[in-house]
A = this chain, B = another copy of it.
């Protein structure tokens, strides 16, 4: 589930190891560039945290963020 915190939409995805983390990163990277909307992505050994917000709307959460959140959920 995505949380709305501090004007961002965030979700942390957990994986069994770093190789799975990198595979998920690849998928998020491709879909982000395709939708032309780029999250902040925080990668650690077994997790990928994603933070979504829209720079040109005062860093608030917009429809672009919800669309990318949906697309990312369909990847995992």
Residue ranges of A at the interface with B (Cβ–Cβ < 8 Å): 18-20, 22-27, 29-34, 38, 40-45, 75
Contact = CB atoms under 8 A, between A and B. Distances in A.
Given A25-B25, A26-B26, A33 B19 contact: yes
A18 B43 contact: no
B19 A27 contact: yes
A66 to B, nearest CB: 19
Contacts of A29: 18, 22, 25-26, 30
A50 B41 CA distance: 12
Describe A's contact surface by its main secondary structure: helix
Contacts of A24: 23
A42 B45 contact: no
